[in-house]
Homo-oligomer: A and B are copies of this chain.
Amino acid sequence: MLAAMFNKRYGSPGSSPATLTPHLVDGVGRKPVIQLIEYDRDHLVEREISDLAGLPDDLDNGKVTWINIDGLGDVEALTALGKRFGLHPLALEDVLNTGQRPKIEYDSNYVFIVAQMLYQNTSRVMCGEQVSLFLGKGFLVTVQQEADYDVFDPVRARIRSGLGTIRKAGPDYLAYALLDSIIDHYYPVLEDFGNAIEDLEDDLLERPTREMVHTLHGHKRELGQMRRFIWPLRDVVNGLLHDPSGHITEETKVYLRDCYDHTVQLMDLVEIYRELTSGLMDLYHSSVSLRTNEVMRVLTVITSIFIPLTFIAGVYGMNFAPESRTGERLPLNMPELYQPNGYIAVIALMALIAAIQLVIFKKMKWL
């Protein structure tokens, strides 16, 4: 799923702009699930609708209308939505071409926001999904890729409970609350990242393996791509803070400023983890080269000690004859072999050589 999010979908090169290509599963575009929540301070209506015919004619009726669409398989439904709310075909194309950079666009009668959710689903697998928001007078339309899970449940709960500011405010506050929820869900994902990286650090120093480099490389990659979602998200929030369109009230801007601080902190975290992974790569390199150094030292010490000894043994294994073939004595040929203490002397010599080397290696701190 994460990988899916990271892959940018794009239309066929050269095709007409605003060409809408549905998302197909096994060749079939599934019908989207449309949820409607209508509320003001005193009322709350929440229902699932099959098409947009059931919407009230005038949305600017003092209530907040939140339409959440899950699923991108049905181009006609999207087109109908576009017509109903006056959405630009290019914006709808962006909704379908998932993997967009987060962005904000102001159209004549709505604000169009693209963001990327990142969350851990119920089995703690990291998932990603594009969310598109259309914020207009009295309404907010959100479009997501899948119906299974989203990060909006806490917000729905707040609407239902009626506590806090949300029921008293307009759709701009709702848009803020959803963005805030999207941003806040990055924190636990990044925290998991941090823990994984710290675990890796200990393992790396202990015993570096090929798999760790692979994992590390994967982390680096994911961080690099996360960063590409968070940085523009900050610009999105900043764009809302300097909203020229009048869709965002001053009260909501106070909250958005808080939201902005959070994106800055997320960026800080991502940078910290990026530096850490780079540092770990360094650590890995130095760990491997230090291990190679240690291995070499062991090899060198053992070889250096035994090679001269083996040579000496080899010398006294030579077969120089005590007599020539004609029977003459050859007193110069290996007289050591015929000494009463020859063997013991040689063994002692060997022990001495080994001892001297041990002392030297000790002094050089190779042992």
Q: Which residues from chain A sit less than 8 Å from chain B, CB to CB?
A: 8, 10-17, 88, 90, 93-94, 100-101, 103, 105, 151-155, 158, 163-166, 177, 180-181, 184-185, 187-188, 201, 205, 207-210, 213-214, 217, 220-221, 224-225, 228, 254-255, 257-258, 261, 264-265, 268-269, 272, 275-276, 279, 281-293, 295-300, 302-304, 306-311, 313-325, 328-334, 336-344, 346-347, 365-366
A210: chain B residues within 8 A (beta carbon): 205, 287, 290
CB–CB A302/B302 < 8 A:
no
CB–CB A307/B303 < 8 A:
yes
Q: Which residue of B lies closest to A334 (CB)?
A: B343
Instruction: Select one of B11, B151, B257, B295 contacting A300, CB under 8 A.
Output: B295
A101 and B269 CA atoms in complex are apart in Å by 11
CB–CB B337/A255 < 8 A:
no
Q: State the Cβ distance, A310 to closest chain B Cβ, in Å.
A: 5
> Would you list the 7 A-B pairs with minimal beta carbon distance, nearest first?
A14-B154, A313-B314, A13-B184, A316-B318, A14-B181, A299-B300, A317-B317
A268: chain B residues within 8 A (beta carbon): 101, 228
CB–CB A279/B17 < 8 A:
no
Instruction: Select one of B185, B325, B347 contacting A13, CB under 8 A.
Output: B185
A275 and B224 CA atoms in complex are apart in Å by 8
Instruction: Select one of B14, B276, B291, B300 contacting A184, CB under 8 A.
Output: B14
